Amino acid sequence: MSTQEFSREEFNANVAAKAWQNVAFRQELLSNPKAAIARELGTTLPENLQIHVFEEDTNNIYLVIPPVPQVDEELSEEALEQVAGGYIASRKKGKFFVIT
């Protein structure tokens, strides 16, 4: 990956794509994720940072709940709409369906 800025979702997608295409990278990602990610980013990661990698299969789905953001101001109407807008997700034959 290049030294550009990207969102967490973009980073996850790029790492997953590389893991699908490169068996050696996939194995290192599973056995030593911190080293694999540090090399991918071209940097040294903080010593206290832990990275956990789980490989999904047809019977296991993992959901990551990020930490609650520290917000010192009120959310805008648009931000409130995004937070309040619920959805239902289901999985069928390896595909996700989202109803908003």
The pTM for the full model equals 0.62
Per-residue DSSP letter, 99: E
Detail the DSSP E strand segments found in the chain.
88-92, 95-99
| Beta bridge mates, 98 | 89
| DSSP annotation string for 52-77 | -----BTTB-----PPPP---SPPPH
Q: Determine the pLDDT at residue 30.
A: 97
pLDDT at 1: 45
pLDDT value for 2: 45
Nearest residue to 91 (alpha-carbon basis) of 65, 56, 53: 56
Give, for all 100 residues of the chain, the pLDDT tens digit. Answer: 445 677 888 888 999 999 999 999 999 999 999 999 999 888 899 999 999 999 999 999 998 888 887 766 777 777 777 666 555 555 555 555 554 4
